[in-house]
Amino acid sequence: MKRRNFIQAGLTAMASATMITPSFSNTNIPAAGKPFKLNYAPHAGMFKNHAGDDFIDQIKFAADQGFRGIEDNGLLKRSVVEQERIGKTLDQLGMTMGVFVIDGGDNWKISLTTGNQDFKDNFIKTCKLSVEAAKRVNAKWATVVPGFFERKMPMGIQTANVVDALRRGAELLEPNGLVMVLEPLSDTPELFLRFSDQTYEICKAVESPSCKILFDIYHMQRNEGNIINNINSCWDEIGYFQIGDNPGRKEPTTGEINYKNIFKHLYDKGYRGVMGMEHGNAKEGKEGELALIKAYRECDEF
């Protein structure tokens, strides 16, 4: 290369470098910055290897990659200052707050199924705290898990007890625009709420727009399968979706679930709500985070 051309090339490179603003964007990340068709929402820790330990920086990194929502199950355990920081960041980035958990400490024990007044009171107390937290982050959905079976009671009585508690919660949440989404789970057979049709029946009984189904595709694949048909059957009571492949509960493409078809089905039905990324990363480190983003890019190309 001639000396004059070499110098000119060097000056051009220097000028370009001075124009670059700090960003988490990465040329190795497929279609970085391009919004997805659906609103996939990562959670704290999912991108910590790229963005660091600060959840705010992780949110900004997610936004740089085209994600337009987040989830934060542990929101109620954060300080008011942290909640306000999250809310301000989401507002500045134009992002949606997904679910957090209405967790009063009774979610993983025998609780609302019993009809016990103490459990009801604790649930209502936590609903009140949730309303205030939701205002700080502009949240519209919050997860509710009724707890374990009470084996000494008939199923119908337990169901009635759960419905009664949820009606009380809905009375508080509905005027504040917060929707509790009931999540049937597959973690253990001891859990009361396990199937989509069971959750549908309860939502119909509660009769409130603030009581809907959280259809976690991973859990429902494990408990009942027939995912698209069951989504269709429960459609008018589904308020929220979560994602995770099976087996392993990692990102789409790592298991047996055809997420590209499911995403297309939801999109064609008009769903534009949050799709919570309720799963781990199949690989560790930055490599795993890039693989996760690539998997969502692939499944979103329907």
CATH number assigned to the domain comprising residue 206: 3.20.20.150
Q: 17-32 burial, b if ≥16 CB within 10 A, otherwise e?
A: eeeeeeebebeebeeb
Task: Supply the range of the domain harboring residue 73.
Answer: 35-300
Does residue 294 sit within a domain?
yes
112 vs 106: CA distance, rounded Å: 8
Domain membership of residue 25 (yes or no) is no
Q: Which residue has the higher pLDDT, 138 or 15?
A: 138
Q: What confidence tens digit (pLDDT) does each residue in 287-301 have?
A: 999 999 999 999 999
Within a domain: 245 = yes
Q: What is the pLDDT of residue 33?
A: 82
Tell me the pLDDT tens digit for each residue of 41-72. Answer: 999 999 999 999 999 999 999 999 999 999 99
Average pLDDT across the chain, whole number: 92
Strands 211-216 and 179-182: parallel
pLDDT of residue 138: 98
Is 256 within a domain? yes
Report if pTM > 0.85: yes
What pLDDT score does 31 carry?
73
How many domains would you assign to the chain? 1
Question: pLDDT exceeding 70 applies to what percent of the chain?
Answer: 90
On whether residue 12 sits in a domain, the answer given is no
Q: Is residue 210 part of a domain?
A: yes
Report if residue 236 sits inside a domain: yes
